[in-house]
Amino acid sequence: MGSIAGSGGYYVAAPAHWIVAQPGTLTGSIGVIFGKIVMGDLLDRLFVHRESLARGRHIGMEDLDRRFDPDERRVLRARIERVYDRFLERVARGRSLSRASLDAAAGGRVFTGRQALERGLVDALGDVERALAKARELGGLVPGAPAVEYAPPRQPIAPPASSAAALARYARDGLEAWNAAGVLLVSPLAGPDLF
């Protein structure tokens, strides 16, 4: 894990056979939070007209035009609790921790890599080279088997604020690049001609 592996990052890492973190890696945040920005008044001021058609009791609860009503808050709380329980179950199973011992590390708490090691959230401290060495070992590969990073092209620095549409396109493209992040591949077949 690099500089930050919190929340969703830790959720993805928890089932791994072996986790290496840097001593200062922000780790954990085993918790769930949800919110929404209510923008109805802002959109009214911007003369943006919205029309919603909905059928069903809670179908529009995530609508940004209004706040949650008390019944929707109960529904949302139940959803959050289900996701949190799934998160706890995933970490407990992946890290071979009891739910009781996991409670001390959960609840949205954040730790350094060193503290996470003490709590059983990671297996070792080190850098990418240490993680690659362990990946080779777990994969039954010889030490020094090639590792190649495959990454999409980097997003250029933000364009000048020529227009709101240009900035919106830049933000959209940035999110797409974020979702297409590269991976390190360790394989006896890895090499520049693999793909």
- pLDDT, averaged in runs of 10, over the chain (195 residues): 88 94 92 85 81 77 86 92 94 93 90 95 95 94 86 63 72 70 54 49
The pLDDT value given to residue 126: 96
Nearest one of 11, 4, 15 to 123, comparing CA atoms: 15
Same domain, 82 and 132: no
The answer for residues whose C-beta is within 8 angstroms of residue 121's C-beta and 6 or more apart is: 10, 19, 27, 28, 91, 95, 105, 111
Last residue of a domain, one of 126, 141, 163: 126
Contact 136, 143 (CB under 8 A): yes
Note whether 23 and 97 are same-domain residues: yes
In this prediction the pTM is 0.69
Residues 100 and 171 in one domain: no
Shared domain for 3 and 87, answered yes or no, is yes
- Give CA separation, 50 vs 42, 44, 59, 65, in Å: 12, 9, 16, 9
pLDDT in the model for residue 92: 95
Q: 50 lies in a domain? A: no
> Of 126, 148, 164, which marks where a domain is finished?
126
Please confirm, yes or no, whether 7 is among the known catalytic residues.
Answer: yes
In this predicted model, what pLDDT tens digit does every residue of 128-141 receive, in sequence order?
A: 999 999 999 999 99
Task: Give the domain CATH number at 105.
Answer: 3.90.226.10
pLDDT, tens only, 146-161: 888 777 666 556 666 6
Q: Are residues 80 and 28 in the same domain?
A: yes
* 155 and 184, same domain (yes or no): yes
The whole domain housing 194 covers: 128-195
Number of domains in the chain: 2
Q: How far is CA 124 from CA 80, 117, 129, 158, in A?
A: 31, 7, 12, 37
* From 7, 52, 163, 187, active-site residue: 7
Please indicate, yes or no, whether residues 91 and 148 belong to a single structural domain of this protein: no
Dist. CA 168–CA 182, nearest whole Å: 23
The answer to whether position 56 is within a domain reads no
Residue where a domain stops, chosen among 76, 98, 126: 126
